[in-house]
Amino acid sequence: MTLKSKIIIGAAILGVLLFVFAFHLVSFHAALFIPLIALCLLMDTGVVISSEDLKEMIDCQKEIKDGVQESRHTQQEHAKEIEKVKAELNRLQKARLETLVRGPRRPGELVSESCARHLAGILICSAEFQGKLRSREDRDKLLNFAAQTFGMETKAALTTSDIPLPVEYGREVVELMWKYGQARQYATVYPLPTGSVKLPKLKTSPSFGFIDQSATVPEKSPQIDFVDFVAKKAGGLIRVPSEIDADSVVPLGNFLARYVAREFTKWEDTVAFLADGTATYKSISGVGKKADTLGYKIQLAAGKTAPSDIVIGDFRNLRTKVDAAALASSAYYMHPTHEAFLSGMNTTTNRPYIASGPNGPTFDGFPIRWIGVLPVYDTAAHASQYQILFGDMTYWFLGERGHPDIATSRDVFFATDEVAMRGLERFDWQLLADAAMAVLKLGE
C-alpha cells in the first residue's frame, strides 16, 4: 500500500470518527461539515483524491446516515412497544386487584372483561364524537382506553360513532340473558336462519292399529299446519351520563351488559306470558291468551274475580286441560306472591305444597316456577285475568334472529348532555302444540 493510499484511508477514518463524535455533541446537520473539513485538510497537503475515492467516502457517509436514522426509528418503535406492555401490565394488575376485592364471580353473573371493555369503549367513542369529553382532565386516558380496546390508533377511533357489537360478544350478552330471562329458560329457543321461517305443526294424527295377514296396509295421512315465524324488532334507548370516570369504565361496561340483558329478557317474558294479540305485541298471543283462545282453560264462576277466590280444586282441575303427552313434563307457572297462598292450603293431613323440595317448590308433585311478569296474588277484583298457567313450556318456541345489536347515537339527548345507547333484538313467539298449556282465568 502506497503512502498516498494510507493517507487517504486515514483521513477517511478520521472523518468518520469526527462525524460520529460531532453528531452526539452537536447535531446531524453540523456533523456533515466534519468530512468536508477533513477533505480540505487533504487538499492543503497536496494529496490528490480521485473521483472513486471521493465517491467511496460519500457512500460511507450515506451508509452512516441511514444507519443512524434506522437506529433512531428502531428506538422509537421499541419505546412504543414498552409503553404498550406497561399499559397492559397495569390493566392486568388492576383487574387482579379488583378480583381480590370483589371475590370470585358466580357463574353467569357477568360478561367477560373484554366484552365489558368493548361496551364501555363504544360509550367513550360516542361521547368523544359528541364533544362531551373535551373539557375532561382524563380525556386522554379515556381515549387511550377505547383505542386499546378496539386495537386502533386514537385518531381512527374518533371517526366513528356506531361500533357494532362483535358476534363473540353478542353471544356473551345472549348468555347473560339466559340468567334473567324465564321464557328462555323454560321454552325452546330456536335460531331463525332468515327473517321469516315456517315450522310444521301436527294438526291431526291418524292412529295405527293391527293389520290382518296379507291384508292391505291402510294409508295414514296426518295433517300438518305451518307456523310462521317472522322476526319482529324490539329494543330501546339507554340514557348514560357523559360524566364517565376513567377508573370505572369496565364496571360501567358490565352494568350496560346487565341492563341490556335484563331489559331484553323482561320484554321477552312480557310477550311470552302476557301478550294479548293486539298491535302493542305485533299480534302475538302469549301463553295465557293462546290457551284461552284454544279453550284449554279453567275459569272461575261469575263474581269470583279476585285471586283469593281460587281454591285447591281449581289447581287440580287445571291439569285435566293438558294433553297426556305433555303432563309428565308439566309445571305450574305463577307469580312468587302466591307462595303464602299455597302454604295456606296445607293442613296436618294434606300437604300438597312443598316449599323446599329437592328440585324446588312443588304442588301435588308438579314443579312450581315463579314468573315475575305474571299477575300478583291479592284480594282485589281482576275480572277475567290470567292468574296461573300449567303445562309444558318446551312446546312454545322463541325464534330469535341473530344476536343483540348495540349502537350509539350522537343526536339524541343533546339537551340533557347524555349519551344514548341503542339495544335491538329480533324475535318471534309461537306455539307448536295446541294442548301443551292451560290457563286458570278469574271470573267475569
What is the reported pLDDT for 38? 53
421 backbone dihedrals φ, ψ, rounded to 5° = -115, 135
Helix 167-180 × helix 113-129 angle, to 10°: 110
Pairwise CA distance, residues 296 & 344, whole Å: 27
Neighbours of 425 (CB within 10 A): 26
Pairwise CA distance, residues 116 & 250, whole Å: 6
What is the reported pLDDT for 50? 65
Q: Where is average pLDDT lowest: 117-126, 136-145, 159-168, 201-210?
A: 159-168
* pLDDT tens for each residue of 380-394: 999 999 999 999 999
Say which residues have a Cβ less than 8 Å from residue 59's Cβ, sequence separation at least 6.
none
Residue 216's SS3 state is coil
Confidence class for position 150, pLDDT limits 50, 70, 90:
low
CB environment 321-351: b (16+ within 10 A), e (fewer): bbbeebbeebbbbbbeebbeebeeeeeeeee
What is the reported pLDDT for 35? 54
Say which residues have a Cβ less than 8 Å from residue 301's Cβ, sequence separation at least 6.
443
Helix (H) or strand (E) holding 238: strand 232-241
Pairwise CA distance, residues 281 & 272, whole Å: 10
What is the reported pLDDT for 76? 84
Query: Which of residues 166 and 324 earns the better pLDDT score?
Result: 324
3-state DSSP helix/strand/coil percent for the chain, to nearest 5? 50, 20, 30
In this predicted structure, the answer to whether residue 115 has a pLDDT above a threshold of 70 is no
What is the reported pLDDT for 167? 41
Mean local confidence (pLDDT), 318-330: 93
What is the reported pLDDT for 225? 86
Residue in the block written with cell 294479540: 277
Q: Is the dihedral angle over the CA atoms 98, 99, 104, 110 positive or is it negative?
A: positive
Confidence class for position 233, pLDDT limits 50, 70, 90:
very high
What is the reported pLDDT for 73? 82
Residue 62's SS3 state is helix
Q: Residue 362: which of 343, 376, 381 has the closest Cα? A: 343
What is the reported pLDDT for 218? 85
Mean local confidence (pLDDT), 24-31: 48
Which ranges constitute the DSSP H helices of 106-228? 113-129, 139-150, 154-157, 167-180, 182-186
Pairwise CA distance, residues 269 & 374, whole Å: 9
CB distance 336 to 388 below 8 Å: no
Query: Which of residues 326 and 144 earns the better pLDDT score?
Result: 326
CB distance 118 to 169 below 8 Å: yes
Query: Which of residues 253 and 350 earns the better pLDDT score?
Result: 350
Say which residues have a Cβ less than 8 Å from residue 278's Cβ, sequence separation at least 6.
none
Cell numbers standing for residue 223: 295433517
CB distance 22 to 31 below 8 Å: yes
Model's pTM, two decimal places?
0.63
In this predicted structure, the answer to whether residue 361 has a pLDDT above a threshold of 90 is yes
What is the reported pLDDT for 154? 40
Strand-pair partners of 363: 353, 366
C-alpha distances (whole Å) from 254 to each of 53, 107, 109, 151, 249 are: 70, 14, 10, 20, 9
Strand-pair partners of 226: 200
Cell numbers standing for residue 236: 330501546
* pLDDT tens for each residue of 271-302: 999 999 999 999 999 999 999 999 999 999 99
What is the reported pLDDT for 442? 96
Mean local confidence (pLDDT), 35-51: 54
For the chain, the distance separating the N- and C-terminal CA atoms, rounded to the nearest angstrom, is: 122
